[in-house]
């Protein structure tokens, strides 16, 4: 996943079909098929949806032709993402012609943003459900079965799905996502999330810890705590009035077992605290990796983006992370060609990338999204060819930084959690180290299995992968 190339975080994973527990396929005469697009939060949501549907008597299938219900869990962060969904809907409509009783639904951010347009203007779907309305899906399916168009895109200030046990989708049984909060209070000018996922609310603290403990008891070895902005997690016990912040939650999850790795995503530079950094430093099983979105290295552009920090402030945060944990990897999001960006703004971005020495970045050209603050306030005035040129320079620099970072690891011994076969050979294992770098090594010890930890000496590298040998 982290081989450096031109990437968009929300589009780095292609649509994936739900594969779940196929034992339910024969136990039910109603089957659902789901594809998920976009960020990790969408994939986590699909696991909640799968749980709701199974409780309602639906079995799962990975064969779209066998489905009574087809669902697309969508992303609306860029125009290309929405075009992908429309293309899939057109393909599914052909299946519906052969099976008129088939229901097609659009879930998630695109459902929230486009609402009735999908139902009325394009006539591609029967059900439209926003991110906070998944509990109503069984009722909406019943409505759609009568021929009515079913829609619920109401946003909530309370919904966190804390009481629903997710059905792990496409699970390798080793790593899992755990949602700790929903929504976002940051009004970044380029972003649709506050409009499609609503206001920020944190999930009950003990439900997060219990879910992580249950995963560990079931054999999972790594959890990633998810939120649009995990550092602003804040839950107050309504009975004792005791408050839990993100550092406290992070520590409690780490205390479940030293053998359970803990990751988190995503951090906002303005909110990641010294307390979080010290907690990371204190526990070996909290992975030394922080995703710290930059977006632009120009203070002027950052102000237009409403990012609430300056170039200098961001660099001071990177410096503090490196001082606290010299072995911590840092990745970023970088946007090329935001409104009014000039050559100097672009050079400022490249400069911050060099100083920060990112291990990875998710890089993309600015795409205006209807309804955002930027669409209302600014003109998208940077020509496409200029955006592409600047993006290419950003990608080229990140490729260089990634390779240099990997070269520094040659000769080091790193602990790797084995996730499965290497993509290129079933004679090699693939796993990741604490810094989230992919490590590939030969299966010289036949006793090792996915889910085991192994110490590897790094002997070589590519731009996106460390290559090594098992240390006896």
User: Tens digit of pLDDT for each residue in 68-111?
Assistant: 999 999 887 777 778 888 899 989 988 998 899 999 999 988 88
Show Cβ contacts of residue 85 under 8 Å, excluding neighbours closer than 6 positions: 37, 72, 74, 75, 106, 110
With CA atoms as reference, report the closest residue to 36 among 9, 74, 8. Answer: 74
User: Mind listing the domains of the chain with CATH numbers?
Assistant: 9-152 (3.40.50.12160), 175-408 (3.80.30.20), 413-470 (2.40.50.140)
Show Cβ contacts of residue 271 under 8 Å, excluding neighbours closer than 6 positions: 229, 231, 232
Q: CA-CA distance, 221 to 17, in Å (whole number)?
A: 24
pLDDT number for residue 431 = 98
Show Cβ contacts of residue 360 under 8 Å, excluding neighbours closer than 6 positions: 2, 4, 329, 331, 332, 398, 402, 436
Q: CA-CA distance, 353 to 456, in Å (whole number)?
A: 29
pLDDT number for residue 121 = 59
Q: Cα 235 from chain centroid?
A: 22
* Phi (first) and psi of residue 276, to 5 degrees: -65, -45
pLDDT number for residue 109 = 85
With CA atoms as reference, report the closest residue to 221 among 167, 193, 184, 258. Answer: 258
C-alpha distance across the termini of the chain, in Å: 28
* Phi (first) and psi of residue 226, to 5 degrees: -110, 145
* Phi (first) and psi of residue 178, to 5 degrees: -130, 115
H-assigned helices in 36-160: 40-55, 79-98, 109-114, 116, 137-145
For residue 118, what is the DSSP state?
I
pLDDT number for residue 119 = 72
pLDDT digits (tens, 9 = 90+) for 52-73: 999 999 988 889 999 999 999 9
* Phi (first) and psi of residue 187, to 5 degrees: -105, 60
Q: Which residues of the chain have pLDDT under 70?
A: 1-28, 116, 121-122
455 beta partners? 415
What does each C-alpha distance from 54 to 16, 175, 285 come to in angstroms?
19, 22, 34
pLDDT number for residue 9 = 33
177 beta partners? 224
Report which secondary-structure segment, H or E, holds 391: helix 384-408
With CA atoms as reference, report the closest residue to 82 among 371, 389, 391, 385. Answer: 371
Q: CA-CA distance, 302 to 285, in Å (whole number)?
A: 34
192 beta partners? none
pLDDT number for residue 370 = 87
Alpha-carbon torsion, ordered 13, 149, 195, 341, to 10 deg: 60
With CA atoms as reference, report the closest residue to 166 among 110, 215, 132. Answer: 215
Concatenated DSSP letters of 349-363: HHHHHHHHT-SEEEE
3-class SS at 209? helix
The CB density around residue 97, as the number of other CB atoms within 10 Å, is: 8
Q: Which two tokens stand for residue 396?
A: 């080229």
Angle at 200 between CA 305 and CA 20, to 5 degrees: 105
Contact indicator for 435, 328 with CB cutoff of 8 Å: yes
H-assigned helices in 191-245: 193-196, 205-217
Show Cβ contacts of residue 224 under 8 Å, excluding neighbours closer than 6 positions: 40, 175, 176, 177, 178, 262, 263, 264, 265
* Phi (first) and psi of residue 277, to 5 degrees: -60, -40
Report which secondary-structure segment, H or E, holds 68: none
Count of residues in the chain: 472
């Amino acid at each position: 996943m982290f081989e450096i190339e031109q990437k968009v975080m929300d589009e780095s994973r292609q649509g994936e079909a739900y594969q779940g527990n196929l034992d339910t396929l024969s136990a039910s005469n109603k089957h659902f098929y789901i594809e998920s697009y976009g960020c990790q939060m969408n994939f986590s949501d699909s696991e909640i949806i799968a749980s709701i549907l199974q409780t309602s008597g639906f079995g799962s299938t990975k064969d779209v032709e066998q489905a009574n219900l087809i669902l697309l869990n969508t992303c609306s962060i860029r125009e290309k993402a929405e075009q992908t969904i429309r293309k899939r809907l057109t393909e599914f409509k052909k299946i519906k012609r052969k099976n008129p009783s088939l229901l097609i639904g659009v879930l998630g951010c695109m459902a929230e943003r486009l609402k009735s347009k999908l139902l009325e203007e394009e006539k591609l779907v029967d059900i439209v459900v926003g991110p906070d309305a998944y509990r109503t899906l069984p009722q909406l399916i019943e409505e759609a079965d009568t021929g009515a168009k079913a829609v619920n895109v109401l946003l909530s200030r309370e919904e966190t799905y804390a009481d629903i046990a997710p059905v792990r989708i496409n699970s390798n049984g080793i790593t899992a996502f755990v949602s700790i909060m929903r929504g976002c209070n940051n009004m970044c000018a380029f972003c649709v999330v506050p409009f499609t996922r609503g206001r920020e609310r944190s999930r009950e603290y003990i439900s997060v810890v219990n879910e992580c403990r249950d995963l560990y008891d079931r054999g999972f070895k790594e959890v990633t705590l998810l939120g649009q902005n995990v550092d602003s997690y804040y839950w107050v016990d309504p009975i004792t009035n005791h408050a839990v912040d993100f550092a406290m939650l992070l520590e409690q999850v780490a205390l479940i077992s030293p053998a359970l790795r803990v990751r988190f995503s995503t951090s906002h530079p303005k909110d990641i605290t010294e307390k979080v950094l010290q907690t990371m430093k204190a526990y070996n099983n909290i992975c030394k990796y922080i995703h710290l979105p930059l977006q632009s290295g120009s203070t002027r552009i950052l102000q237009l983006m409403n990012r609430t920090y300056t170039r200098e402030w961001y660099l001071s945060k990177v410096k503090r992370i490196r001082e606290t944990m010299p072995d911590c990897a840092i990745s970023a999001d970088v946007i090329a060609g935001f409104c009014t960006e000039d050559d100097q703004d672009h050079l400022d971005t490249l400069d911050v990338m060099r100083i920060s020495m990112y291990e990875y970045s998710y890089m993309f050209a600015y795409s205006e999204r209807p309804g955002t603050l930027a669409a209302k306030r600014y003109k998208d005035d940077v020509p496409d060819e200029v955006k592409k040129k600047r993006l290419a320079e950003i990608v080229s620099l990140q490729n260089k930084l990634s390779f240099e970072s990997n070269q520094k690891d040659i000769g080091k011994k790193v602990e790797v959690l084995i996730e499965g076969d290497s993509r290129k050979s079933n004679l090699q294992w693939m796993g990741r180290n604490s810094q989230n770098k992919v490590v590939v090594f030969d299966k010289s010890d036949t006793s090792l299995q996915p889910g085991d930890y192994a110490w590897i000496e790094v002997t070589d590298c590519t731009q996106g992968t460390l290559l090594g040998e098992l240390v006896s």
